[in-house]
Amino acid sequence: MTELPLAIDLARMQFAFTVSFHIVFPAFSIGLASYLAVLEALWLKTGRQVYIDLFQYWVKIFALAFGMGVVSGIVMSYQFGTNWSVFSDKTGPVLGPLMGYEVLSAFFLEAGFLGVMLFGMNKVGKGLHFLATLMVAAGTLFSAFWILSVNSWMQTPAGYGINEMGQFIPVNWVEIIFNPSFPYRLVHMVLAAYLTTAFVVGGVGAYHLLRDRSNQAARVMFSMAMWMAAIVAPVQIVAGDLHGLNTLEHQPAKVAAMEGHFETQRGAPLILFGLPDMEAEETRYAIEIPRLGSMILTHDWNGEVKGLKEWPPEERPNATLVFWSFRVMVGIGFAMMALGAWSLWLRLRKSLYDAKGTYLAAMIMGPSGFIAVLAGWITTEVGRQPYTVYGLLKTLDSASPLDAPAVAVSLAVFAGVYFVVFGAGVFYILRLMGKSPDSGESGLDAGVPSRAAGGIAVYADTNQSQPAE
């Protein structure tokens, strides 16, 4: 691997730190927005109180997660100007419009209807409120569409030219947006967001069922989450396999690092565990299954799999980090599928709500989606090093003229502020989750003055009048 100056390593660390905080909130809010839309649709269709109770319960958690996602995303964008100005200059003509489309089509949609969804339950008609919830859910998906298009273009650039100043310029927008890895990456990420939310909802439902097995709202949460795990987890594994085949075609060095292969082989084994040694150029203590690596990657028992020695050392990603982060992601994916299959078996035996062990497993698996998303992100981003735009623009050539002490200080400030601000936010979300949904659960508009006139504010939930300050 290329040895980078300390300032660039610190800038990379700063971006990794902020994006790690950021990515978990959109991953949660994308799935939760769709979950809210499903709950409201079921309430409108069936009229059952439990669905609107759950909507009011989770909408408060959504508001917090959405707000923290927006704030943490805005902070990241400043780093493109401070630490990565050369990257911004080179890629701006391509990536700038894509980010603009995200704001125009997704953020405006979310922002325009978010207030109605959060505070309009008792102020607008049911149809309009449901439309607002659908638009917020659609906005989160549009946002994922554009952000994944940007990231995928950096992984598999297409449809561009290079001008006399060395900038990437758009030649074909269709090829830029729908670049070779985009469809696989979008499907993989959206499914990951749905699974992340499902396991959070399932974990919360399991927690309340352990305290009261007759809790109807907890039963609905747990049941819906287990349906998602049983159906979506296997689909995600298939999507991940297709994404891997696409990566093998366009980024074979990343796949070699993921698999821990240093030598090019036909009939390559699948290395389950081992210790990749970048200096010795081998994976030590490998536990492997003969030929299975070639079968999975090429769908041929004797298929050829390239090893990292095909690339000079300075062109190789960090094999140790990519190898282990990939296994964490895959391991969690199979654990999700196993829990979904087990819940399906219990459901067929009509004993889904009688298995205490399943509740405990669901609680333990509650945060697993976040861990899998972070591990997958590390696999993807570290695996494309040493490039920011794969094969075209190196990380070393993307940074601003940086001063290491200045970057170190800003990194320390980011760490302190993030742990205080987002730590408080996460603590409050956990407090909300610790309370069981009530029948007639109050929404966000409860307790908010519905009007203030003549110095008197009328409170929506209590109908009490208090002097307005």
Q: How far is CA 342 from CA 121, 240, 336, in A?
A: 37, 22, 10
Q: Which residue has the higher pLDDT, 370 or 354?
A: 370
Q: How far is CA 439 from CA 106, 197, 208, in A?
A: 34, 23, 14
pLDDT, mean of residues 315-343: 94
Q: Which residue has the higher pLDDT, 416 or 439?
A: 416
pLDDT, mean of residues 75-87: 85
Does residue 457 register a pLDDT over 60?
no
Does residue 371 register a pLDDT over 60?
yes
pLDDT, mean of residues 69-98: 87
Q: Phi first, then psi: what are they for 168, rounded to 5°?
A: -75, 130
Residue 191 banded pLDDT, cuts 50, 70, 90:
very high
H runs (alpha helix) in 47-103: 49-82, 85-102
Distance CA 167, CA 275 (A): 40
Cis upstream peptide for 317 (omega within 30°): no
pLDDT in tens, 25-56: 888 999 999 999 999 999 999 999 999 999 99
Distance CA 240, CA 244 (A): 6
Q: How far is CA 207 from CA 9, 86, 219, 338, in A?
A: 41, 49, 11, 20
Residue 107 banded pLDDT, cuts 50, 70, 90:
confident
176 close to 95: Cβ distance less than 8 angstroms: no
pLDDT, mean of residues 96-105: 88
Distance CA 370, CA 359 (A): 19
Averaged confidence pLDDT in the chain:
88
| Exposure b/e, 274-296, CB count within 10 A at least 16 = b | bebebeeebbeeeebeebbbbbb
Tell me the DSSP string of 424-443.
Answer: HHHHHHHHHHHSPPPTT---
Instruction: Give the other-Cβ count within 10 Å of 236's Cβ.
Output: 22
Torsion angle defined by CA atoms of residues 323, 329, 334 and 339, in that order, rounded to the nearest 10 degrees: 150
Q: Which of 390, 381, 431 lies closest to 64 in space, CA to CA?
A: 431
246 close to 181: Cβ distance less than 8 angstroms: yes
pLDDT attached to residue 445: 66
341 close to 230: Cβ distance less than 8 angstroms: yes
Distance CA 382, CA 390 (A): 12
Q: What share of the chain is helix, strand, coil (3-state, %, to 5)?
A: 70, 10, 25
pLDDT attached to residue 464: 45
319 close to 276: Cβ distance less than 8 angstroms: yes
pLDDT in tens, 109-124: 888 898 899 988 888 8
